[in-house]
Homo-oligomer: A and B are copies of this chain.
Amino acid sequence: MTDIRPGSVTLKDLAAELGLHPSTVSRILHGKTDTARGAAAPATARRVRELAKKVGYSPDPHATSLRTRRTHLLGVIVPRLSDLVLAVMYEGIDEAADDANYSTFVMNSRDDTLIQRRKMEIMLSRRVDGLIIGDAHLDGNILDELTERQVPFVLMNRAIAGFASATCDDTLGGALVAQHLWDQGHRDVAIIAGEPYASTAVDRTHGFVSRFRTLGGTIPESAIVWSRFDTTGGHTAADSILRDTDRRPSAIFAVNDFAAIGAMGAANSHGLHVGRDLAIVGFNDTSLAAQLPIALSSVRSPMLDIGRVAVKLLLGVLNGDAVESVRLAPVLCVRDSSDFRCATG
């Protein structure tokens, strides 16, 4: 487009070149249509715009921010971007932010309260206009603090009562799985429940348990195993579930695809054939699920949209609107890993 390094030409340069005052140029280039109209004759405006384009003028964002107190910068905090789920949500954010002419910082908190705080401070010290928080813990005390400090923010992925959030309807998702497994004849089920501080984990588990019980089933507390969200977490949890050979469940619901994959690994090493001896259902329907050697049933959550909606909500907040939380509906995708009738059911 241009062969000049951005920042090499300023408003003042443009003005000098054209024999105008910087303020006039500013109004023409950045003012709203009516301001621009009042600021200059149409012919002048055209000259300015043409020169600006020709020399590749791009306004200095720091000077602008310094003056306007707005940065067009959004901060995003996630547990870890190497969690595919969050990565996809971030893609949604990236897209939506881009469309709205915002840029985003994203940082990993590793779900560590100290790091969460630190990253938040970094973002605020960078003067982001608002925050999208993807790693909220159910205790939520950081959030109260943010509210008190009047920092505009919204939650994503994990919901906390009282704060605006963009999430999947996790309770419904859990319920869909319960219904499915029940319909297939499973009566002994276990849950790899994820981290107890994450609403995703808690809601999916709760949705599942509550539907399963409504249907007449029973789920002992011992059948609910909390775990990390990754493959090793799932493996360990499944291992502890399957170790007791007397009372093995015929189906396992893992609240996360990666945990489900870990569980598949564990099932394997216990000599169980997933999709025949044991049903496994995951959550999120990441791109892997359908491609696994034994295709994994999973609840599809609209991750991309969640990211997009999060941006929309935050922009709403920045705009002073009263925003409402959005819960997007999930869809169950049944595949080989659970597509069979339970023999004992």
Contact = CB atoms under 8 A, between A and B. Distances in A.
Interface of A: 1, 3-7, 58, 60-63, 65-66, 69, 71, 80-82, 84, 87-88, 90-91, 94, 98, 103-108, 117, 121-122, 124-127, 145, 148-151, 230-232, 234-235, 258, 261-262, 264-265, 267-268, 274, 287-288, 290-295
A293 B292 contact: yes
A97 B80 CA distance: 16
Contacts of A295: 265
A292 B294 CA distance: 10
A58 B287 contact: no
A105 B108 contact: no
B293 A61 contact: no
A127 B294 CA distance: 48
Contacts of A107: 94, 98
28 contacts: A3-B148, A5-B124, A6-B124, A6-B125, A7-B69, A7-B127, A58-B124, A60-B66, A60-B127, A62-B65, A62-B71, A62-B127, A81-B81, A81-B87, A81-B91, A82-B84, A84-B84, A103-B105, A103-B122, A104-B105, A105-B105, A261-B288, A262-B291, A264-B291, A265-B293, A267-B293, A268-B293, A274-B293
Copies of this chain held together in the complex: 2
Given A61-B126, A81-B91, 10 more contacts: A5-B124, A62-B62, A81-B90, A81-B94, A103-B126, A232-B287, A264-B291, A264-B292, A265-B293, A288-B288
Q: Which 8 A-B pairs have the closest CB atoms?
A: A231-B291, A62-B62, A82-B87, A62-B65, A265-B291, A62-B66, A58-B125, A81-B87
A63 B66 contact: yes
A94 B107 CA distance: 7
Contacts of A62: 61-63, 65-66, 71, 127
A91 B103 contact: no
A94 to B, nearest CB: 6
A178 to B, nearest CB: 24
A192 B125 CA distance: 46
A288 B80 contact: no
Contacts of A98: 107, 122
Contact of A125 (B61, B88, B108, B235): B61
Nearest to A303: B82
Contact of A5 (B105, B117, B151, B291): B151
A3 B151 CA distance: 11
Given A125-B6, A295-B265, A82 B71 contact: no
Given A107-B94, A265-B295, A293-B265, A127 B84 contact: no
Give the most central of A66, A69, A258, A267: most B CB within 10 Å: A66
A280 to B, nearest CB: 10
B294 A293 contact: yes
Given A6-B124, A94-B107, A264 B287 contact: no
